[in-house]
Amino acid sequence: MTPNELFDLSDRVAIITGGAGGIGTVYARALCEAGASVVLADLNLDAAEAAAAALTADGHAASGTAVDVRSTASAEAMAAHAAAVFGGVDILVNNAAIMTDLPPYGLSDIPDDQWDRVMNVNFRGPLLCTQAAIPHMQARGGGRVVNGLSSGGFMPGGIYGVSKYALHGLTLNLAAELGGRNITVNAIAPGLVDNDSGYASLPKDSPFRDAIAAQIPGKPSGPPSDLVGVLLLLCSAAGEWITGQSILVDGGWNLRF
Ligand SMILES: NC(=O)c1ccc[n+]([C@@H]2O[C@H](COP(=O)([O-])OP(=O)(O)OC[C@H]3O[C@@H](n4cnc5c(N)ncnc54)[C@H](O)[C@@H]3O)[C@@H](O)[C@H]2O)c1
């Protein structure tokens, strides 16, 4: 295959949860530009439809739909929407998460309802969406699942870090379980992302940001477009032999031995 063929996603159908968000919209455009038809699924239907309309206006195949990743029925409706509009599901990007409106508690005192609020979106949501996508992927002979982790999942980070580390575990276990069905399951773990959510969780002018940046050997932060190369790798023929991997894109913030 030529390099272009390796990353070509023509005839592929992708779903991105949290598709109306800062990273989701960038992922959606990248997958469209690689040739895929893309469903942008989000709790915020108006924003998902607006983001899809912007892609359609540029000649891409995109559709917005509502999803609440906490609900099996909603996840199944999302997958059915992709099948009805574009003919199937090949790629699922589990990108929706709570990262800015986090409970103001440590793990030692977090109330049950606050634990559930975060874990149901950040951890259970990717499982429910994957379960909903599997039959559609099998009908097409296989598929790709890409989970949205965080570099923060590999260091102490309270409930958010726990939810992302749990998703790392889900990535490994689903990869083992779904390999025989020709479905790869991987994850992207971004570091400090230069977007609204990134700045909401760690303000641009915070002294902590400078302190963290001083510890990062490579580029300390980057825009969502810096994640696109790994996304395309994991969704395309180029990544056919890769599964069960959580790939850190964080300038070496988290050097794991
Ligand atoms: N921005 C960063 O600095 C950063 C860093 C590392 C990892 N991440 C991860 O990247 C992903 C995207 O982050 P972002 O910066 O685009 O955040 P964002 O807040 O802009 O987007 C999140 C999207 O998820 C949607 N969402 C929330 N709950 C939902 C639910 N129950 N069902 C469906 N959709 C729901 C929101 O409506 C929103 O559009 C998240 O998984 C986040 O944890 C972000």
**Which CATH number applies to 3-249: 3.40.50.620, 3.40.50.720, 3.20.20.100, 3.20.20.60?**
3.40.50.720
Q: Give the angle subtended at the CA of 83 by the CAs of 81 and 89, to the nearest 5°.
A: 110
Does residue 110 line the site of ligand 1, with CB under 6 A?
no
Ligand 1 touching residue 96 (CB < 6 A) = yes
Q: Sketch the domain layout of the chain as residue ranges.
A: 3-249
Instruction: Quote the ligand 1 centre to 98 CA distance (angstroms).
Output: 6
- Identify whether 160 is a catalytic site residue: yes
Mutate to test the pocket of ligand 1, among 42, 94, 127 (most ligand atoms within 8 A of CB): 42
Identify the pLDDT of residue 89.
99
Q: Which DSSP letter does residue 182 get?
A: T
pLDDT at 199: 96
Tokens in use for 248?
């850190």
Whether ligand 1 lies within 6 angstroms of the CB of 209 is answered as no
pLDDT digits (tens, 9 = 90+) for 89-137: 999 999 999 999 999 999 999 999 999 999 999 999 999 999 999 999 9
Query: What is the pTM (predicted TM-score) of this model?
Result: 0.98
| 49 alpha carbon – ligand 1 mean position (Å) | 17
Query: What is d(CA 20, CA 173) in angstroms, rounded to the nearest whole number?
Result: 28
Residue of 27, 160, 165, 199 with catalytic role: 160
Radius of gyration of the chain (CA): 17
